[in-house]
A and B are shown apart, each in its own frame.
Chain A
Amino acid sequence: GAGVSQTPSNKVTEKGKYVELRCDPISGHTALYWYRQSLGQGPEFLIYFQGTGAADDSGLPNDRFFAVRPEGSVSTLKIQRTERGDSAVYLCASSRVPGTLETQYFGPGTRLLVL
């Protein structure tokens, strides 16, 4: 595909359940970022991958959140024991290489609702 894709587009779950959100970056992009956007707010950084490794996970709110990128392409954000406060739009972005000279391209997001 030409752009960043994310699945599912919407996810409704119950408090306490486990969810996985998938991101498929633009082919060949080595840098991948996850952000979370709450209603009326700008996106907030969660974690950044360079290749297969998490280069910066300082934005993850707590240890219920975890992300992987085992083959350096597709990434999965995993949330354990979901809470109502986790409800938000989870956005994924990729760039050709990491760094501040590179445009980040965003996917359409996954809208997570925790009941």
Chain B
Amino acid sequence: KQEVTQIPAALSVPEGENLVLNCSFTDSAIYNLQWFRQDPGKGLTSLLLIQSSQREQTSGRLNASLDKSSGRSTLYIAASQPGDSATYLCAGFGGSQGNLIFGKGTKLSVKP
């Protein structure tokens, strides 16, 4: 059964820092992986989807990588801003139909 772990659970950084959020999964037979952002009291916003055949995806200041052999994904945020403060969730697809298995998230706080 696929399990997803995110480290750290919480992170506080000053504005402008580059940072890395980590995600690991137990089953290397992962199909694809999706990173989300969740603001307090809100739903999830999709940030990046990495297909199993890809190694990374980039969108603006965000870069996500996927290493199937080690069962890890990282989300890199460059030049962090206070507006980046949110909980970041990674999710792997639990089966071929597309239901997602989520980690518990990393709560990021970027201080001005």
Using CB atoms and an 8 Å cutoff, list the residues of chain A in contact with chain B.
Answer: 4, 6, 31, 33, 35, 40-45, 48, 50, 55-56, 59, 91, 93, 95, 98-109
Contacts and interface: CB of A to CB of B under 8 A. Distances in A.
B98 A105 contact: no
Contacts of B98: 31, 33, 48, 95, 98-100, 102, 104
A83 B57 CA distance: 42
B97 interface: yes
A104 B98 CA distance: 9
A109 B97 contact: no
Interface residues on B, range: 20 to 34
Given A104-B100, A105-B46, A108-B43, 19 more contacts: A4-B43, A31-B98, A42-B91, A42-B102, A42-B105, A43-B91, A43-B100, A44-B102, A50-B97, A91-B43, A93-B44, A98-B97, A99-B97, A99-B98, A104-B46, A106-B36, A107-B43, A108-B42, A109-B43
B46 A48 contact: no
Contacts, number: 73
A37 B51 CA distance: 25
Contacts of B42: 108-109
18 contacts: A4-B43, A33-B98, A42-B103, A42-B105, A43-B89, A48-B98, A56-B95, A56-B99, A99-B97, A100-B31, A100-B32, A100-B51, A100-B93, A101-B32, A102-B98, A104-B46, A106-B43, A106-B45
Contacts of B36: 106
Contact of B97 (A35, A41, A56, A108): A56
Contacts of A104: 34, 46, 98, 100
A60 to B, nearest CB: 12
B77 interface: no
